Amino acid sequence: MTATTASDSAAPAAVPAAAHFRFFTLEVLRTRRLGHSFLRVTFGGGSLADFRSGGYDQSLSLFLPCGDQEHTELPSTDEDTWFGAWRAMPDEERPVMRSYTVREQRRTAGGADEVDIDFVLHGDSSPASRWAGRAVTGRRIMAIGPAVAENKSVRFQRPAGTGAVLMYADETALPAAAAILDRLPAGTRVKAWFEVPHADDRLGLHTLADTDITWIVREKAAGAAERAERVLSELRAAQLPASGAPYAWLAGEAGTVRAVRRHLVQERSVDRRAVRFTGYWRLGASEEQLLAEAYAGQAPSEDPASEL
């Protein structure tokens, strides 16, 4: 299945950037455990009729209720005032904003729209994991998501003329990697390294592409250098597909992603402009710290042409 709907093509050819995203109300329909660390939450709701996922690694921002609140309440959903109003809320009342991937969007036979989002579970150590572990049918949250399929929150942009696809993802980026694999056409050669914390997190992934996956099972806590070195040892031992200039998509822990990018560009001579890299999180930094850096404009560049 692909992360798209039949209505994707209805988006206008040229839409002002400000109109690319809007607020949606998502209602929990059901949950399903996928592996030791993964839980899929399926959302519905009437507003999803206007949701337009661009597929691949389409992201959206979820607003998760604080504490024991059942539903998300925001003081404003106006595009000009919502951010200031949300930031002004008391800490104990402010919904937690987190970025997630649209694992799949579909329209059911009955005409209802549904969206799947896969969460990584690690107990109550993060607000998103805590919320997902307690999600039950009928709970409602708010989200900012795409109103047009051609939007800047789809980072996987494979240039025409590139050959094989190279992928690295840890567990936080595995749902995005899986959604990309869903969409790649038959005949595409893919070499992927997927890092997960437990052996039964090695999910069965659907794809028509000719895909070779190396699973890197962590099984224990590790420091940044140890994590990166274990991943790099797997990359160095691998033979890359011989199918023209490759395109690389890398996502997960920021330090490991940078190390993988550096290896591909400096040791494998992959054109840095053909490497899309995203740090979903950073070892040793809280999610709130990373958000504060993003608000202050201090987040590291993810421009493919940036220096290593």
State the average pLDDT over residues 70-93: 93
Yes or no: say if 116 and 179 are a contact pair by the CB < 8 Å rule. Answer: no
For 132-152, how does the pLDDT look when each residue is reduced to its tens digit (9 = 90+)? 999 999 999 999 999 999 999
Whether 147 contacts 52, CB under 8 Å? yes
* Arithmetic mean of pLDDT, 24-29: 98
User: What tokens appear for 289 in the block?
Assistant: 């710290």
Which tokens sit at 105? 């969007």
What distance, in Å, lies between the first and last C-alpha atoms of the chain? Answer: 36
pLDDT at residue number 11: 32
Q: Which part of the chain is CATH 2.40.30.10?
A: 6-146
| pTM, full prediction | 0.88
DSSP annotation of 141 reads E
pLDDT of residue 8: 31
Q: 218 falls in which pLDDT band (50, 70, 90)?
A: confident
What CATH architecture does domain 165-295 belong to? 3-Layer(aba) Sandwich (3.40)
pLDDT of residue 296 exceeding 90, the answer is: no
Can you point out the beta strands (E) in the chain? 21-33, 38-44, 59-64, 96-101, 104-107, 113-120, 140-146, 165-169, 189-196, 210-217, 247-253, 275-281
Under 8 Å between Cβ of 34 and 102: no
For residue 12, pLDDT beyond 60: no
Average pLDDT over residues 24-46: 97
Residue 207: is its pLDDT beyond 70? yes
- CATH node for 6-146: 2.40.30.10
Q: CATH 3.40.50.80 region(s) of the chain? A: 165-295
Q: Model confidence at 9, in pLDDT bands (50, 70, 90)?
A: very low
More confident residue, 11 or 180: 180
